[in-house]
Amino acid sequence: MIEWENMPEFVQEKQEPFSKIIVRFDNEEDLQEFASMIGQKLTNKTKSIWHPKLIRGINSNKRYSNEK
In tens, the pLDDT along 1-41 reads: 677 788 888 888 888 899 999 999 999 999 999 999 999 99
pTM over 0.85: no
Contact 25, 34 (CB under 8 A): yes
Rounded to whole angstroms, how far apart are CA atoms 14 and 11?
9
CA neighbor of 25 nearest in space, from 42, 41, 50: 42
C-alpha span between 21 and 11 (Å, rounded): 28
Q: What is the pLDDT of residues 40-49, one digit of tens each?
A: 999 999 999 9
